[in-house]
Amino acid sequence: MIHNERKSARIGFVSLGCPKNLVDSEVMLGTLSRQGYTITPHKEEADVLVVNTCGFIDTAKQESIDTILEMAELKNSGSCKKLVVAGCLAERYRADIRKEIPEIDFVFGPDELGKILEAVKLDDEDAIPDISIDALYTSKEVPTIPRILTTPSHMAYLKISEGCDHVCTFCAIPGFRGKFRSRSVVDLVAESRRLADQGVREVILVSQDTMAYGKDLGMADGVTSLLRELARVDGLKWVRFLYCYPNTVTEGLVRLVAEEERLCKYFDIPYQHASRNVLERMKRGGNRETFERQIEQIRKWNPSAGLRTSFITGFPGETEDDFKEVLRFMDNAAFDNVGVFLYSDEEGTGAFDLDQKVPRRTAVRRRNQVMKRQAAISKKNLKAMIGRRAEVLVEGPSDESDLLLKGRMETQAPDIDGHVLINDVGDTVVKAGEFYNVEITESLEYDVIGRIVSK
């Protein structure tokens, strides 16, 4: 009787933050589904609501808190009997959030994912399955747990490691995600094969520090070895990797991307700044000249590679001259895509205690200048593509109009970069998740428009 009651419990899940968090959520969803729970997309119908939170910077923390409060309302007014909070915010502020939001029934962090089964049970007498899952998914059960993908069926993220050993002064992640730990090559290749068998055509490697992959396993240039293996998985068409720490991108990796057809010609390197002064205070090292040499090397081997970076504006001690270094760097590097974050003063980080704080309005002005500069650079880069043909992964109808399809080139990562908008398919029968040759006919600031010429 108790068994059936547990089996019929409906679970609503909200995943916030980065793709690494999303993979954790998909593993938990797979675990719950395997145990007979029903997953519902309708939060109002859920017996148990789970929020997998982000705790990275102020805006992410606020989104997490707002979401928890929204779910707490459903607990007070709807069918929800239990509210569970997981993830980074839960780990970082475990005691505080339980005290401030008494509706929360259960809290656990990213290194104890197996606790999801204890967290969602509604009957105290119900037995808890003995499944131990940590942030590396090292439980013997995990290889057989089907992840429930929340991404489109043709793509999936692959979390290759957990934690970080860097001491960047703006970042709180090592404090709640722990030391750097890699998953094994065998596990990652096996998971990629399972994903390919499910119809996934693009896998995207994510990590706090992708370039450090394998160092704890005694591997030299481990990410290159891993990518070489993944590029041979039958069924995969694109293998993409994100989050490259600048000083650790090797020539071997750059050359491998050039040689292996399935590795996306795409480098996501968050430089964070270009001024030696600011980078030293960030405890990152490097400067504009060394970064520009690195980009030259990448383009020598991969002339058509997409380049993405991110910057922080308003870091303590950032002067106008420091900021001008960022603009010069952007002009010289001509990045395809740039993300900009306002500096967030996070307790527990090295930067929290630094002097020379920059007024928020100055940080906002600088961010706006970066975005305006990047819009012009992107527009120029994309205009040069008119008349060329590109292989495009079609994703489905555009958000802008049902008359347009949208897709991505290998130089465009999902959710963070622009799109290829398709306004003419000719006689081609187009299916989402398939690849087509598209001729680029027009360009916008961040997107291009084109017509399908063949499959």
Over residues 29-69, the pLDDT tens digits come to 999 998 889 899 888 888 999 989 887 666 767 888 888 88
Contact 288, 246 (CB under 8 A): no
Contact 298, 305 (CB under 8 A): yes
Boundary of a domain, candidates 334, 358, 383: 383
The larger pLDDT score, comparing residue 166 to residue 238, is at: 238
Give the three-state DSSP class for 180. Answer: coil
Residues 284, 374, single domain; the answer is yes
With bands split at pLDDT 50, 70 and 90, how would you rate the model's confidence at 4?
very low
Structure tokens, 348: 């527990």
**What pLDDT does 322 receive?**
95
Contact 145, 30 (CB under 8 A): yes
Boundary of a domain, candidates 383, 400, 425: 383
**What pLDDT does 3 receive?**
40
Residues 277, 343, single domain; the answer is yes
Does residue 136 sit within a domain?
no
Residues 322, 348, single domain; the answer is yes
- The whole-angstrom separation of Cα 242 and Cα 250 is 15
Q: Which CATH number is 232's domain given?
A: 3.80.30.20
With bands split at pLDDT 50, 70 and 90, how would you rate the model's confidence at 166?
confident
221 burial via Cβ count (<10 Å: 0-12, 13-18, 19+):
middle
- Check whether 5 has a pLDDT greater than 50: no
293 burial via Cβ count (<10 Å: 0-12, 13-18, 19+):
exposed
Does residue 133 sit within a domain?
no
- The whole-angstrom separation of Cα 292 and Cα 274 is 10
Residues 331, 199, single domain; the answer is yes
Q: Which CATH number is 29's domain given?
A: 3.40.50.12160
With bands split at pLDDT 50, 70 and 90, how would you rate the model's confidence at 7?
low
Residues 341, 405, single domain; the answer is no
- The whole-angstrom separation of Cα 212 and Cα 246 is 11
For residue 20, which of 170, 243, 237 has the smallest C-alpha distance? 243
- The whole-angstrom separation of Cα 335 and Cα 269 is 10
Contact 322, 278 (CB under 8 A): yes
Does residue 406 sit within a domain?
yes
Averaged pLDDT score across all residues of the chain: 88
**What is the percentage of the chain residues whose pLDDT exceeds 90?**
56
Where do we find the tokens 């291009």?
448
- Check whether 330 has a pLDDT greater than 50: yes
Does residue 151 sit within a domain?
yes
- The whole-angstrom separation of Cα 36 and Cα 48 is 14
Q: Which whole number is the average pLDDT over 340-347?
A: 86
Question: What number of residues does the chain have?
Answer: 455
Structure tokens, 235: 């069924």
CA 442 → CA 120, 376, 382, distances in Å? 51, 16, 9
CA 448 → CA 247, 266, 380, 389, 441, distances in Å? 32, 17, 11, 12, 8
With bands split at pLDDT 50, 70 and 90, how would you rate the model's confidence at 1?
very low
CA 78 to chain centre: 32
Give the three-state DSSP class for 121. Answer: coil
Give the three-state DSSP class for 311. Answer: strand
Q: Which CATH number is 418's domain given?
A: 2.40.50.140
Residues 186, 223, single domain; the answer is yes
Boundary of a domain, candidates 120, 151, 170: 120
Residues 13, 97, single domain; the answer is yes
Residues 246, 260, single domain; the answer is yes
Does residue 235 sit within a domain?
yes
**What pLDDT does 350 receive?**
64
Number of domains the chain is built from: 3
- The whole-angstrom separation of Cα 135 and Cα 46 is 26
Does residue 131 sit within a domain?
no
Q: Which whole number is the average pLDDT over 143-163?
A: 89
Where do we find the tokens 């399809």?
405
Structure tokens, 91: 């780990």
Residues 286, 352, single domain; the answer is yes
- The whole-angstrom separation of Cα 442 and Cα 425 is 15
Q: Which whole number is the average pLDDT over 165-184?
A: 79
Dihedral sign, Cα of residue 193, residue 198, residue 202, residue 208: negative
Residues 396, 308, single domain; the answer is no
Residue 199: which domain range?
Answer: 142-383
- H helical segments located in 170-211: 173-177, 185-197
Least confident of 161-175, 286-300, 428-442: 161-175
Q: CB atoms < 10 A from the CB of 63, how many?
A: 15
**What pLDDT does 2 receive?**
35
- Check whether 345 has a pLDDT greater than 60: yes
- The whole-angstrom separation of Cα 201 and Cα 182 is 24
Torsion-angle region of residue 94: left (phi > 0), alpha (psi -120 to 50) or beta? alpha
Residues 318, 444, single domain; the answer is no
**What pLDDT does 170 receive?**
75
Does residue 112 sit within a domain?
yes
Q: Which whole number is the average pLDDT over 125-138?
A: 79
- Check whether 88 has a pLDDT greater than 60: yes
- The whole-angstrom separation of Cα 355 and Cα 29 is 44
Crossing angle between the packed helical segments 288-301 and 251-259, to the nearest 10 degrees: 30
Residues 221, 341, single domain; the answer is yes
Q: Which whole number is the average pLDDT over 206-231?
A: 93
